[in-house]
């Protein structure tokens, strides 16, 4: 059985693993190895995740994990970007555990938290061409609003992101 919980320090290792493996799996066909490993190093290291688990706020609502027994099989994080706007900043699963509704359960939990904080709409940035994430967001009601440069781009990189929104 899958249980969704607010993450604790004991989940940090599992979050780092799920996000790193999920990130590699998601972007191996569209992004360079340098880009992928740089993002993983900067964002999915245990030191950073531990701080993010310990300190949540309106702008950063903390990590939520999907647990199968003691195993972290998925993780989500988000925050409020305006008085009535929430955002999904990150969502990854163990790549072997897709299409079991784990992503939907994680998103529902973050959404409940953001509704309590006053959210009436929710945003997410997805890499253009991410055929593993876009069908999910469209299935749960997000529609594309705009296109922009991916914010982790170095000067010589030109990856694009799509901004999606749904009303809650
Ligand atoms: C996006 C992701 C978290 C979705 O989680 P998931 O548990 O696999 O999704 P769910 O089982 O809850 O799917 C809900 C619905 O979304 C749609 N959907 C999800 N993945 C889909 C896919 N690859 N193709 C088509 N539709 C899809 C379906 O309608 C599905 O309902 P159904 O299974 O009854 O048909 C997961 O696929 C993932 O980790 N992808 C790679 C990482 C990623 O892109 N993250 C987002 C970066 S911002």
Res 158: pLDDT: 76
Res 153: pLDDT: 77
**Mean pLDDT per 10-residue segment, the chain (168 residues):** 98 98 94 93 97 97 97 98 98 96 98 98 94 96 94 80 97
Res 50: pLDDT: 98
Could you list the residue range(s) of the whole structural domain that residue 76 is in?
A: 2-126
Q: Does residue 82 fall inside a structural domain?
A: yes
| Ligand 1, CB within 6 Å, residue ranges | 22, 26, 91-93, 98-104, 124, 126, 130, 132-133, 135-136, 139
Is the pTM higher than 0.85? The answer reads yes
Q: Does residue 78 fall inside a structural domain?
A: yes
Residue bearing the CA closest to ligand 1, atom 10: 101
Distance in Å, CA 155 to ligand 1 centroid? 32
Question: What does the alpha-carbon distance between residue 16 and residue 43 come to, in Å, rounded to a whole number?
Answer: 9
7 closest CA partner among 90, 87, 82, 116: 90
Nearest ligand 1 atom to alpha carbon 98: 8
A 10 A CB-CB count for 156 gives 5
Q: Which two tokens stand for residue 87?
A: 């955002």
Q: Does residue 167 fall inside a structural domain?
A: no
Q: Does residue 140 fall inside a structural domain?
A: no
Res 154: pLDDT: 79
């Amino acid at each position: 059985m899958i249980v969704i919980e607010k993450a604790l320090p004991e989940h940090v290792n599992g979050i780092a693993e799920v996000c790193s493996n999920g990130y590699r799996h998601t972007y191996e066909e569209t992004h360079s190895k340098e880009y992928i490993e740089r993002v993983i190093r900067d964002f999915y290291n245990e030191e950073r995740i531990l701080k993010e688990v310990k300190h949540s706020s309106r702008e950063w609502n903390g990590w939520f994990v999907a647990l199968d027994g003691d195993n972290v099989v998925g993780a989500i994080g988000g925050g409020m970007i305006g008085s009535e706007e929430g955002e999904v900043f990150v969502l990854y699963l163990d790549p072997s555990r897709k299409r079991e509704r784990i992503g939907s359960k994680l998103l529902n939990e973050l959404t409940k938290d953001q509704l309590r904080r006053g959210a009436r709409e929710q945003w997410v940035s997805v890499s253009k061409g991410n055929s593993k994430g876009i069908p999910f967001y469209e299935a749960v009601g997000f529609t594309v609003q705009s296109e922009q440069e991916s914010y982790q781009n170095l000067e010589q990189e030109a990856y694009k992101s799509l901004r999606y929104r749904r009303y809650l």
